[in-house]
Amino acid sequence: MSIISYFVLALAIGISNMLLFRRCSELAHIKLTSGIVKSFLLSAIHVLFFILGSTIGDLLGFYSSDDPQRYSDRNSYVFLGLAIIVVVKVLSPYLRREPNLPLFNLQSWTSVLAMSVATGINVLLLGIGFGFVVQNTKNISLMVLSIGGVSFLLSYLGIMFGRQKVAIRPLRWTIVYCLLILGVAIASVVNA
């Protein structure tokens, strides 16, 4: 996988966090200084979940000592399957007339921690799929910089959007999120 794949996945995770923080900060007014810390906490937990997921995926991947590329197509299909699961999970609330999207109280630290863990499940699944495709994931610094940086910036942007009550179309942004994830997964299948 190329470096671009890391940043595309980071952009997708950041868009998801931006939508979440925009919804939550619209209901509860928080200070921007507190928002910086809370968006950094969420980004740090998501980076840890992605690294944990890629380590699990690397351990569970199909590999041959004779030919390292023998099972690369099967590994990429596992990544595609996990990406489809995440996409269906994210798009399912929008299939109702009135989407019931999760809201968290940003003024409570336990709620922010619970939000980070709850939204980190999708990041964990993407990390497991990414670990299947990328053998011996030693690019931890690239994961931290891409996912942590982009997620932090877009999360904080979501807080600012929510405080100002800026109107965005969450379904369109969710579709962009899903297309980015599916694009990386399909690219891994094609390159296998």
- Reported as a single tens digit per residue, the pLDDT across 60-116 is 888 777 776 777 788 899 999 999 999 999 999 888 888 888 888 888 889 999 999
- Give the mean pLDDT of 23-40: 88
Nearest Cα to Cα of residue 10 among 179, 149, 116, 188: 149
pLDDT for 142? 82
Mean of the per-residue pLDDT values for the chain? 88
Q: Report pTM.
A: 0.90
- Reported as a single tens digit per residue, the pLDDT across 155-192 is 999 999 988 888 888 899 999 999 999 999 999 889 87
pLDDT for 178? 94
In order, the DSSP letters of 124-182 are HHHHHHHHHHSSS---HHHHIIIIIHHHHHHHHHHHHHHHHT----HHHHHHHHHHHHH
Distance CA 177, CA 183 (A): 10
pLDDT for 89? 93
